[in-house]
Amino acid sequence: MTAITTDHHHDHQLHADETDVFGFWIYIMTDCVLFATLFAAFAVLHTANFTGPTLKQLFSLPYVLGETMFLLASSFTYGLAMLGVYKKSRGTAVFWLMITFVLGLSFVVMEVREFMHLYADGNSWHISAALSAFFTLVGTHGTHVSIGLIWMALMIFQVLKYGTAPSVNKRLTYLGLFWHFLDIVWIFVFTIVYLMGVI
Partner 1 sequence: MSNNEQVITIKYGAKLKTLKSYLIGLFLSLLLTFTAFICVGDHLLPDKALFILITALAVAQLFTQVICFLRLNMSDEGRWNSLAFVFTFIVVFVLVGGSLWIMYNLNYNMM
Binding residues for partner 1, rule: CB under 8 A, are 1-4, 14, 17-18, 21-22, 25-26, 29, 32-33, 36-37, 39-41, 43-44, 61-62, 65, 68-69, 72, 75-76, 79-80, 82-83, 85-88, 169-170, 173, 177, 180-181, 183-184, 187-188, 191-192, 195-196, 198-199
Residue 26 C-beta: closest distance to partner 1, Å:
6
Nearer to partner 1, 32 or 116 (CB): 32
27-62 core/surface letters (b: 16 or more CB in 10 A; e: else)? eeeebeeebeebbeebeebbeebeebbebeebbeee
Q: What is the CA radius of gyration of the chain?
A: 20
Distance CA 133, CA 97 (A): 33
Nearer to partner 1, 63 or 119 (CB): 63
User: Distances in Å between the alpha carbon of 171 and those of 44, 85, 117, 176?
Assistant: 38, 11, 36, 8
97-119 core/surface letters (b: 16 or more CB in 10 A; e: else)? bebbbebbbbbbebbeebbeebe
How does DSSP classify residue 164?
Answer: S
Residue 62 C-beta: closest distance to partner 1, Å:
8
Nearer to partner 1, 40 or 147 (CB): 40
Residue 187 C-beta: closest distance to partner 1, Å:
5
Residue 116 C-beta: closest distance to partner 1, Å:
24
Residue 41 C-beta: closest distance to partner 1, Å:
8
Nearer to partner 1, 34 or 160 (CB): 34
Nearer to partner 1, 160 or 198 (CB): 198
